[in-house]
Amino acid sequence: MTGAPEMSDYASVDFRDRFGVAVVSVDYRLAPEHPHPAGPDDGIAVAEWLLRNGEREFGSDRLILGGESAGGYMSAIVLLRIRDELHAADRVLGANLVFGVYDWGRSASQRGIRATTGLDLLDPVGIEFFTECYLPGLTDDERRDPSISPAFADLHGLPPAFMTVGTSDHLLDDTLMLSSRWAAAGNEVELLVLPELPHGFMAVPCGLTSLWAERTLKWFAEILGRAR
């Protein structure tokens, strides 16, 4: 519903300089003006273009997908479409999924049944509002269709993933469910759960967020190292 690619410019430039990679931040259409599947449609269009033209334009035809919150969701759902529509999951090196929405039928934590009750940027009322904006008129069961909710999709044949969430985040259960099913399907996954941290935890400087940043950079280095 909100946001723009420019919001990630600082991190994108840092990743470019640190790892020598091209970073593409997708300006996908937003709800409620453009509900599902407009955003994922834009994401798969960009992914298809990169897979076709990345070698010529950027020196590589391989991708790492990643994002935070809505961006984590978009990365997961676009990755599934890369596998199913483009048959190119083998050209995705990894997925960095940070506190995304993976169960649009509203998981237990989305409904307020949380592991810890600390302050959070999200709450059940707000989640219900943006869910209705993105998926208007659907029941919770309909919103759990695999084409909408990655946690309910077939997760076989996917690349390594690094998933992160805080225990005070109302989206905690989404990541716990997706990560367990990712692993059960035979894929490599690393899960980092940060005690008592909220949605958007990187805005809170502390030892735990420093640990998250260090481990994220290490994961990227490991994934890119395998490709060289």
Catalytic residue among 69, 109, 168, 179: 69
- Is 141 an annotated catalytic residue? no
Can you give the pLDDT at residue 220?
A: 97
CATH of the domain at 78: 3.40.50.1820
Can you give the pLDDT at residue 227?
A: 87
| Number of compact structural domains in the chain | 1
Cα–Cα dist 67/54, whole Å: 20
Can you give the pLDDT at residue 228?
A: 76
**pLDDT by residue (tens digit) across 168-190?**
999 999 999 999 999 999 999 99
- Is 199 an annotated catalytic residue? yes
Q: Is the sign of the CA dihedral 169, 28, 21, 88 positive or negative? A: positive
Amino acid at 71: G
* Cα three-residue angle 61-65-69, rounded to 5 degrees: 160
pLDDT below 50 — which residues of the chain? none
Q: What SS3 state is found at 174?
A: helix
Q: Can you give the residue range of the structural domain that contains 148?
A: 5-227
Catalytic residue among 169, 170, 174, 179: 169
